[in-house]
Structures are given as C-alpha cells and as structure tokens.
Chains A and B, each alone.
Chain A
Amino acid sequence: MADIADVLNALAASVAAALYPTGAFDARGNPLASLAGPIVKIMRGTPFAKQLDEDLLAGIVNVTVNERAELGRTTTRFSLDWSTASIQTSTLTAASVQNVITFAGSVTAGQGIMLIVDGQPYAYQCQAGDTLSSVTAAFVELILLDRVVTSQANVLTIPSARKITIRQVVPGISIRPVRQQTVGLMVKIYAPSFSLRDAVGACVDSALATISRVTLEDGSIAMLRYSGTSYDDRPQKALTFTRTLLYQAEYSTTQTRDDTTIGVVEAVISPHAIGGGPGPVFIATDIGSAIEPLPSDLNVLVQNGEVLVDAYGDPEVEL
C-alpha cells in the first residue's frame, strides 16, 4: 500500500545511496565518511535537537526528508483496476504418471496443490509444519471420501482414475491505485559550516537530479521532479547552516490485498453453459484479481459478470 510515508522512505533511501553508494560502515562497523566528505546521518522527520547539537559539534551532517503539504494536489487520471503486484514461485511440485502422483520440492505454507481427478477437484493449502508426506496424507483424506486411494510417503495412487489434472496454487499480491497525487517534498541539510553544507548539498542535488522515477515499497512508481532550493544561515550561532532542496513527487496511493492464483473456484453446475459435453462447469464468482491466467486447457467464458470454466477442459465443449 503506497502512501506518502513510502515516498519519503524512498527519497531518503535515494539520498543515502547518493552519499553512501557502498555503505555507511566499514567491516568492523565503524562509520565511514560520505562521498561528500563528512559523516552524514540521513533520516525522515527531524533530528532530535540535543543529538543534532552533538553531531554538529562533532562535524557530522544531518540530512532530513519531509513533506511540504502546501504543494500537494490530486492528479487522478489512470485506471483504478486491480493488477498483479507479485506472485510467489511455487516450491511444491506434483507430477502424475498414469494414476500415480508424486509430490516433490519443498513445502511452503500458503502454497497449494489442486488435483482434479475425473473432473472432481481436491485442493489442499499447505500449513506451517507440513511435509511432503503430510501433504500426501491430506489428499488421501480428501479423496477417500469419493474413491479408493493409497499412499506411501510422498506418492499417491488413485487406482481408478482416468484423467488427473494437477494445478499449483500460490499466493500473490494484487494492487490497485485509488488516487494519484503530487506532493511536495524537501530534503534539508543541517551542517556545522558553509563548506560542509555546500559539499553535502552539491552531492545530494547532483545525485537526485539524475533520478526521475523512484520505486516504492509496494512496487509502484513515484515520479520525482526538482522544484527549487534555499539556504538559511540564521541559526549559525548554533553552529547550524541549512540548505533545503525542494522536490515534487507524483505517486499513486494504492491498496494491496493478498490473493492466490486460481486453482480452486466455486463449483456450481451451470448446465446452460455446456455446449458439447457433460462436464460440470465451475463458476468463479470472485476472480476480479485473477493474478494468473487460467490454465490454457480450460475453456473460459465471461458472461453476465460470471466467469464460466469447463472443468474437464474438453476442447470440444463450446461455451
């Protein structure tokens, strides 16, 4: 979920990358001088006054990143639909040879396997602590309700099965923008002298001038644009010389939600959708965030807001 905080975090990270492209500490954990010369601390918000006093006396420069509310405006103009942000890679695999299914790989909580045995779906979502054997046992428990099944360790045998389809189901994250806006940002440099202020200011300004797109934590993009700078020498009696760099960032406020790829959909017999075969039809009633295309062996029809899926994947069926 992108928010102004993510924009500020991303900008602070960009400032840190400009000043410390190879890290701020040596192998022993000692602080290093920045690319601009002095040791620099970068943070959101404002420095703690007492700490800033001590830092400036020690020749350490502080750089803060904050928003400027007066420069904000709404610029919503893009689609607000859900789209895919990320999908896990499946670590659990299942392969069938005739009527024998072998589970392999590693078991990750949240991932799942769906077996469709002669049109009848059986699905299991892995829990924390599951093993290949426990996943196999879970399927035995499910399938035994309908037909004979045997197992040994991670191998499942369904003697009477004529057709077995296996689908992997993995979690993912869907995202949608709910508003676009431009916000004002400022990068403020607190230095103990003119020279250190100039050195750090030039380094930050130069580096940020090359950045027009900043990737936020949720994967969305903020567009960054320079909009001015100012100096303030009034607090020099407190050994404080400041420079403020102003920017505008346009970003989307987003919502995210946890989803899974489609493996199991709500099963409802829908005879009118059957054109050429007797197979039941699954009607997926909530796949607005379908973050993975349906398997290519399924026939799919979107009709009156419902997605009709032929469970047998019978190519002769005309939906």
Chain B
Amino acid sequence: MADLQSIQAKSNYGLGIAARVLGESVTQYRANNPMAPLDGSGFTRVFDAAFDADPLLTMTKPAIVGRCLFYLIADATNLEVGDYIVGPQGQFFVASLEPLRPPVVIRANSVLFLSRPGEALQAGLGPPGGDSVASETTLFAGWPGSVLIAGRSGQGDVDLPGDVGMAGWQILLPYLFGIDIRGSDILTDQSGLRHLVVGAELSPMGWRIDAIQEAA
C-alpha cells in the first residue's frame, strides 16, 4: 500500500524528469554564513529546475510585474525551506515545501542587509541618543529577497518642498539562523536604499515585512 512518502518520492522523481526537459541548470545554496549566504560554504547542489507562475504547473502563465511567487518544477528531494536557488532566471528562495504540492519559491529582486540601531549605553551619561548609522549593528548581509512596492506611506520628516512622499514596500525574506526582524530595523539594499521596518510577520514561508523608505 502506497504511503505519503512513496507518493512524494514518485512525485519528486516525475518533477525531476520534467525539469530535465523543461528546465535549466540551477545551483542550490544552503546558507552557512549569515553574512554571505551564497558563499558556497554550506550545502550546494546543481540540478535542473523550471519555474512556473501557475500552481498547476501548466507552463502557460508568464511571470508578471509585482508578482514574486513561483512554483518549482524539480526533484525537491534535497530541498529545504530557506534554501537559495540561483539560475538563469534569477535568484529564488524556497518558501514552502508541502507534501504532494509543488515547492513554492520566491523570486528575489534585491540583495538586503539587515542592521539594527541601538545604544551600547547601559547607564549614566552616554553619547547623543537617537538613530545613527554609527550605532547600527549589522545582523545579516547579502541575503537575496523580494522587495516590491506597496504604496506610499506619508511624508519624510524633513518635509522639503520637493518631497513626494515615502514609498512603502513589502519585503519577503527567508527565516534563517533564528535571526528576528523587528520594527525599526533597517533593511538596506545593494543600491544603498534604506527600508525602515514598520512590522515584520514571521510565517511558515519566511518573513513578510512591511517597510517604508527611509529618507529625508
């Protein structure tokens, strides 16, 4: 009598064969270093994979703007949630591995660095308070993630005549190394744009973060 594991194994096998026909060669990275998750120091593997925007894996729906969710056609035997997959179609991280369902991956369009403002002061007279780059501690670096625009979120504090409002962003990242992302943390992308975390929700698929662009 077939059980879930054997059916899943057959499913993986079949999707692996489909990937060899439909997909391209990709590299899987299991992060070993929060400061460089793609440095190859952890588990890596090269395999064939295709990415479909349709959970039915019909390969008929193209990717569209503002959508980062994809479904993986590949043998998922050695995949874990949080693994990065890098190939010709870009960088993805594995968000969900549910039995008998195609793996859900998130396409990353940015590389993010997490820093946390804070004060070393414990008591007595300290340096001027408030947030400053000098007081920030970097918690992780170089994590590919999805950064999609999510409306506007008010004016900057400086209120200059040319201000057009601060953009709001929805950011998706894997949950790795037990690192918590909190409100007021700063997520900086590779271009130096700073996103101030307003709220961060940890779901089984990783971090879903509401952020605003931090600017004058």
Contact = CB atoms under 8 A, between A and B. Distances in A.
A46 B130 contact: yes
From A12, A13, A43, A62, name the one whose CB has the most chain B CB atoms within 10 angstroms.
A43
A47 interface: yes
Given A46-B129, A51-B118, A40 B183 contact: no
Contact of A16 (B118, B124, B129, B131): B124
B121 A41 contact: yes
A56 to B, nearest CB: 14
Interface string B91-118: 0000000000000000000000000011
Nearest to B184: A50
Nearest to A15: B125
Given A41-B121, A43-B121, A48 B130 contact: yes
A284 interface: no
A224 interface: no
A43 B128 contact: yes
A196 B125 CA distance: 18
Nearest to B118: A51
B123 A25 contact: yes
Interface string B108-150: 0000000001110111111111110001000000000000000
A45 interface: yes
A192 to B, nearest CB: 15
B123 A40 contact: yes
Given A20-B124, A40-B123, A41-B123, A50 B183 contact: yes
A65 to B, nearest CB: 9
A79 to B, nearest CB: 33
27 contacts: A19-B124, A23-B124, A24-B123, A24-B125, A25-B122, A31-B122, A31-B124, A32-B123, A39-B122, A41-B123, A41-B124, A42-B124, A43-B121, A43-B125, A43-B127, A46-B129, A47-B130, A48-B117, A48-B119, A48-B130, A48-B184, A49-B184, A50-B118, A50-B182, A50-B183, A50-B184, A51-B119
Contacts of B124: 16, 19-20, 23-25, 31, 40-42
Contacts of A50: 117-118, 182-184
A299 interface: no
A252 B42 CA distance: 62
Contact of A20 (B119, B123, B128, B130): B123
Nearest to A29: B122
A15 B124 CA distance: 9
Nearest to B119: A51
Nearest to B116: A50
Interface in B26-62: none
B153 to A, nearest CB: 17
A44 interface: yes
A14 to B, nearest CB: 10
Interface residues of A, number: 28
Contacts of B122: 24-25, 31, 39, 41
Chain B, interface size category, equals: 10 to 19
Contacts of A31: 122-124
Given A41-B126, A47-B119, 11 more contacts: A24-B122, A31-B123, A32-B123, A43-B125, A43-B126, A43-B128, A44-B128, A45-B130, A47-B130, A62-B129, A64-B129
A39 B122 CA distance: 8
Contacts of A47: 119, 129-130
Contacts of A44: 127-129
A12 B128 CA distance: 10
B130 A16 contact: no
Nearest to A61: B123
A23 B124 CA distance: 7
Contacts of B117: 48, 50-51
B155 to A, nearest CB: 18
Ordered nearest first, which 4 A-B pairs have the shortest CB separation? A24-B124, A31-B123, A16-B125, A43-B129
A48 B118 contact: yes
B101 to A, nearest CB: 38
A231 B166 CA distance: 34
